[in-house]
Amino acid sequence: MRKVNRRLALVSAIAMSLAMVVVAPAKAALPTVRIEVGGLSKQIYIHAMLAQQLGYYKKYGINVVLTDEAAGASAEDDMLTGSVDFVLGFYDHNIDLRIKGKNTINVATLLQSPGEVELCRSDLKGTINSPADWANQKGGVSLGVTGLGSSTNFLTLSLGAKAGVPQSAMHSYVAGAGTTFIAAMKNKAIDCGMTTEPTISAVLGQGIGYVLVDMRYGSLTKAALGGPFPATCVYGREDWVTTHPDLTQRVVDAMMDTTRFIESHTAAQIAAKIPADYYAGTGIDTYIKALNDELVMYNPTGKMPSLGPRSVLTIDGRGKLASGAWTVADMKNVNLRATYTDSYVAASARDLAKADKYPNYFSTGAGALKS
């Protein structure tokens, strides 16, 4: 009888242990957000990978999958079809899409200037001294852009229109960035082209091009374009943002924490966190110098500058009207206030302070989201 009781007790203990194993809560997976970037290695989009390298996405309780695209227009298409949730790209896409009846919204403005430069081939120096000279090239001028429908395409057409160059004289050529842009210049597939760092430094360092128009920051942007041009932002479909406010907030929190890192560290310290292949074409020293020169293009507040939307509409509108892509009525009727919100950035100050005090609050603590 005692043996039976002991056996029953043992069986009961094993059963209870198994039950405890079964009911023990498993560690919840972090909810996933998909972000696509039109060129992850570009300094204008540094937030995307820097946040990943610093561990900020997980710090705020999300798993972010980053995907790379050659141009912002392609990333935009993937976002509209639902393949990705957000795009890190230029703000002007939100205006263009709103005019086309596709409602997207910018939730954090990361750059207060475009960081772009119009370069021309070295053999054209003295022939092309300003965009106005594009009109004088026999057969027109071949202008490199990252993609048709990209912000570089919008800005290139705007520069030409501002200088009085007929649309028929400007031929857009998809040159991409980095090695493909450099090859297009070397092979004379393009006469001039718009690009960013580190491609700018690579072209200048190899002596194959010169600066025609510099729009990288502040006074340079205003002189070239006629006004401010807030650029890189985090944007997504308005319906997705509305139905996923918690995930949107976590993405913005990570981006604003990254902005804080950029503002409080030197170019060399920032570059130390970037994958080495991002500066393989220029070398680390050149990459750091370029980054240091344009640190002022990053937006310390994350909020949309008050004159930004109207200025972007006007700047892009020059080329869009000339090409027939927009009408005067389009520009008059578009609801600019609906193209962005500062509410998530405003709320991020509270979240950053909480994460500073309680490092695991959003990842595994009381503020963690369920996947």
Rg of the chain on CA atoms, in Å: 25
The CATH architecture to which 116-225 belongs is: 3-Layer(aba) Sandwich (3.40)
**Is residue 116 exposed (0-12), middle (13-18) or buried (19+ Cβ within 10 Å)?**
buried
Distance from C-alpha of 60 to C-alpha of 166, rounded to nearest angstrom: 49
Predicted model pTM: 0.90
CB 62 within 8 A of CB 369: yes
Alpha carbon distance, N-terminus to C-terminus of the chain: 51
pLDDT in tens, 170-229: 999 999 988 999 999 999 999 999 999 999 999 999 999 999 999 998 889 999 999 999
All residues at 6 or more sequence positions from 220 whose CB lies less than 8 Å from its CB, including other chains: 113, 214
Q: Which residue bears the tokens 């292949």?
A: 277
Return the pLDDT at 218: 84
Return the pLDDT at 72: 62
Nearest Cα to 45, choosing from 235, 183, 247? 235
For residue 217, the surrounding DSSP H or E stretch is: none
CB 98 within 8 A of CB 320: no
What the block records as the tokens of 61 is 């309780």
User: What DSSP state is assigned to residue 111?
Assistant: B
Distance from C-alpha of 369 to C-alpha of 371, rounded to nearest angstrom: 6
Distance from C-alpha of 227 to C-alpha of 307, rounded to nearest angstrom: 9
Return the pLDDT at 371: 63
All residues at 6 or more sequence positions from 21 whose CB lies less than 8 Å from its CB, including other chains: none
Q: Which residues, given as ranges, of the chain have pLDDT below 70?
A: 1-28, 71-72, 371
Distance from C-alpha of 160 to C-alpha of 142, rounded to nearest angstrom: 12
Go through the chain and tell me how many residues it has. 371
Return the pLDDT at 55: 97
Return the pLDDT at 71: 66
For residue 147, the surrounding DSSP H or E stretch is: none
- Domain at 32-114+229-304+319-357, CATH homologous superfamily: Periplasmic binding protein-like II (3.40.190.10)
Cite the residue boundaries of each domain of the chain with CATH code 3.40.190.10: 32-114+229-304+319-357, 116-225
Return the pLDDT at 208: 96
Return the pLDDT at 89: 95
Return the pLDDT at 369: 86
